Chain A
Amino acid sequence: MISAGIDSGSTTTKVVILEDHAVRVSLVVPTGDFPQKTARDIYQRALEEASLKEGDVTVIATTGYGRRLIGFGDIVVTEIKACATGVLFDVKTDETIHTIIDVGGQDTKVMAIDDEGEIEDFSMNDKCAAGTGRFIEMLALKLGLSYEECANLALQSEKMIPMNATCAVFAESEVVGLVARGESKADIAAAAHQAIASRIRSMVRRVGQRGSYCFVGGGAKNPALVKALEENLGHSVFVPPNAQVLAAIGAAVGGRQRFEKIQKRENHE
């Protein structure tokens, strides 16, 4: 069976075409101003790359902030469910994963997974940008750096400066203060990564800190954040190679499971 998962996020849109147990195509593009159109276009492209026609796809599941905007989807799955399903389906580790950390552009989610592989509890950041990818993006801008430069520079820092703000807006003024004090950009960048990692640690502890950890979402592509998070948790975190598209995979898997359930029920009747 072929199923598709579309994760329409605040920053990027991800699409995955799943054939039975293998990912055939996965794509990531910026969401832009028209999430519906972006989703439509990227889905078409994915079909072309997989040499498939629309009719070949049995079920299209959507997730992410734009999950309800995508008119051509069959099933809507929340990011939390999609992310956990994606990780449990696709990520192979030696130890059982009990905590999933998903740092996205607009929000951060932490999921606790029980021994049966079900979501036991989850926590999400509050409405502001504290603890999200956007926080670092804004600080990079303030430092006159690109996001990548900011992350790379942070890795070079050897000095620990405490940064108190967890609010992106207040953090901006704190950065201005640090710059004025003559702190190096590398140290400030490192401090920002530490601040967000500490915030994530609290969310992890809130749902009951338990290893092993799997770190996904766009934030997992940032090596400085991975390092800061490992320091904060006192434990290594596993970053799967396809961390950014796992929610899309999870949506495709979740969509397929639900489809199979419905079919089974109909056969019974």
Chain B
Amino acid sequence: MTEQFDPRYGIPPRRSEDPAAKRYSRLVFEQQRKRNAEIPVRPSNISWFEKILMEEAGEGDARSPIGYFCNMVPQELILAMGAKPVRLGCGNPALVQPGDEVFSGEICPVAKASFASFLDEKSLASRCDLLIVPTSCDAKKKLGEVLADFAPTFVLNLPPEQDANRYGASMASELERMTRFISKQLGLKLKRRALLKEIEAAQTRTAIVRSLQDARSEKPAALSIRDLYVILQASFAGVPLVDWNREADKVLQEVNSYQVDRKRMRPRLVLTGAPIIWPNFKLLNLIEECGADVVADTLCTGIQSCFDPVVIDEKSKSAIYRALAQRYIFASPCPCFISQATRLSRILDLVKEHRADGVLHYGLRLCQLFDMEVYRLGAIMRQKKIPFTTIRTDYSLEDTEQLRVRLEAFLETVWEEL
């Protein structure tokens, strides 16, 4: 296997203790947890999921942590090898500024905050034994190169188009290459039977998520979108999927038995656009505070992230790799792929399926991929007479009130259409 990074140009990893940033980052966690505590109806076991996101769980886990970015890396592969897959895309606003001290201000907050978590030697990110970074945007491509100094890093090369006929075989071999890299670096073996078991657990997760989605669509009051995101994102923190499935199933039972006592009059929205990552729930807070329900999404950190199952029709290793690529790469909602038609169809389907009253697009400042797609998305929504607006912002809270006005005004127009 050829080396992705030339060791001649390796430099020592940059570390810098910043106790103030650490305190602030903790505060942000606590603040969002408090804000979530005000949600009127919550699952009784929500703290199980919250503790995972607060990094309060997982002590004494002997598995080797593997940090990965984006939703294109099959967790099943990592779990089957006996390692702990930890999704690293960082949503903590407190870490943007420390990231700014190293990178330029013109880099997106996800990349900056994610990188900043490596500056602290004791962070979860820094404790990872290996990193996997897909080439899902320019920032990620280069982040992979930067992080190669911090831990052995595998850059997962993605195809430009979601065309499985053209790229199916090469993506399957790319995933196989990733497995070999993990084996070589950490001395772990991939057993087919273990992989099938993990795939089955992930299929169960998908089934639960789909049921939750359907139940919520019928009665959004039963489960806040913020709690659902906490639940979903907890499954990316490396907990064994069987444990997550057990707890999420309890949530599903509660949601199913939730009795609706009054008619829900809130506008129903489909949320699309950039990832919303715990604890940066700024937009979700606003949506719910302004009196609207998110009934469906296309977010890679939201419901969509777990919506597609891995479909196994043949049990050979190469067939399994192809099936994983099919789900994680060719069914991904990421705008890094051509063409936008996939995402547009998905959004229109969701609007219809979940009787949505409008579509809300979240643009993360400095993420060109989502931003560029708004051009066609807005026009198509107008054409289809679906109320649409886009909220462009970053991790900072200073524009909250302006965003509130925009959102409320949008909801007023949605109401008028009703």
Residues of A that sit less than 8 Å from B by CB: 65, 78-81, 107, 118-119, 122, 124, 126-127
Interface residue count for B (Cβ, 8 Å)? Answer: 13
Cβ–Cβ < 8 Å partners of A79 in chain B: 405, 409
Give A81 to B401 CA distance when docked, in angstroms.
16
Q: How many A-B residue pairs have CB under 8 A?
A: 31
Give A78 to B393 CA distance when docked, in angstroms.
20
Given pairs A119-B409, A119-B413, A126-B402, 7 additional interface contacts (CB within 8 A): A78-B409, A79-B405, A122-B409, A124-B402, A124-B405, A127-B393, A127-B398
Which residue from A80, A118, A126 sits with its C-beta under 8 Å from B405? Answer: A80
Q: Are B412 and A78 in contact (CB under 8 A)?
A: yes
Cβ–Cβ < 8 Å partners of A78 in chain B: 405, 408-409, 412
Q: Are A81 and B412 in contact (CB under 8 A)?
A: yes
Cβ–Cβ < 8 Å partners of A80 in chain B: 405, 409, 412
A132–chain B nearest beta-carbon distance, Å: 11
Cβ–Cβ < 8 Å partners of A118 in chain B: 413, 416
Give A79 to B413 CA distance when docked, in angstroms.
13
Which residue from B398, B406, B416 sits with its C-beta under 8 Å from A124? Answer: B406
Q: Which 5 residue pairs across A and B have the least CB separation, nearest first?
A: A127-B399, A80-B409, A78-B408, A78-B409, A81-B412
Cβ–Cβ < 8 Å partners of A119 in chain B: 409, 412-413, 416
Q: Are B402 and A107 in contact (CB under 8 A)?
A: yes
B109–chain A nearest beta-carbon distance, Å: 14
Cβ–Cβ < 8 Å partners of A122 in chain B: 409
Give A79 to B409 CA distance when docked, in angstroms.
8
Please give me the residue from chain A that is nearest to B416 by CB atom.
A118
A141–chain B nearest beta-carbon distance, Å: 22
Give A126 to B399 CA distance when docked, in angstroms.
8
Q: Are A81 and B399 in contact (CB under 8 A)?
A: no
A208–chain B nearest beta-carbon distance, Å: 10
Give A119 to B405 CA distance when docked, in angstroms.
15
- Digit string of B367-404 for contact with A (CB within 8 Å is 1, else 0)? 00000000000000000000000001100001101100
Cβ–Cβ < 8 Å partners of B406 in chain A: 124
Cβ–Cβ < 8 Å partners of B405 in chain A: 78-80, 107, 124
Give A65 to B412 CA distance when docked, in angstroms.
17
Cβ–Cβ < 8 Å partners of B392 in chain A: 126
Residue of A65, A78, A80, A126 with most chain B CB atoms under a 10 A cut-off: A78
Cβ–Cβ < 8 Å partners of A127 in chain B: 393, 398-399, 402
27 A-B pairs in the complex with CB atoms less than 8 angstroms apart: A65-B401, A78-B405, A78-B408, A78-B412, A79-B405, A79-B409, A80-B405, A80-B409, A80-B412, A81-B409, A81-B412, A107-B402, A107-B405, A118-B413, A118-B416, A119-B413, A119-B416, A122-B409, A124-B405, A124-B406, A126-B392, A126-B399, A126-B402, A127-B393, A127-B398, A127-B399, A127-B402
Cβ–Cβ < 8 Å partners of A107 in chain B: 402, 405
A237–chain B nearest beta-carbon distance, Å: 22
Give A78 to B403 CA distance when docked, in angstroms.
12
Give A124 to B398 CA distance when docked, in angstroms.
15
Please give me the residue from chain A that is nearest to B415 by CB atom.
A81
A204–chain B nearest beta-carbon distance, Å: 17
Cβ–Cβ < 8 Å partners of B412 in chain A: 78, 80-81, 119
Cβ–Cβ < 8 Å partners of B416 in chain A: 118-119
B267–chain A nearest beta-carbon distance, Å: 14
Give A79 to B408 CA distance when docked, in angstroms.
10
Please give me the residue from chain A that is nearest to B411 by CB atom.
A78
B368–chain A nearest beta-carbon distance, Å: 17
Cβ–Cβ < 8 Å partners of B402 in chain A: 107, 124, 126-127
B396–chain A nearest beta-carbon distance, Å: 8
Give A124 to B409 CA distance when docked, in angstroms.
11
Give A80 to B413 CA distance when docked, in angstroms.
10
Cβ–Cβ < 8 Å partners of A126 in chain B: 392, 399, 402
Cβ–Cβ < 8 Å partners of A81 in chain B: 409, 412
Give A107 to B405 CA distance when docked, in angstroms.
11
Cβ–Cβ < 8 Å partners of A124 in chain B: 402, 405-406
A81–chain B nearest beta-carbon distance, Å: 5
Give A122 to B412 CA distance when docked, in angstroms.
12
Please give me the residue from chain B that is nearest to A84 by CB atom.
B409
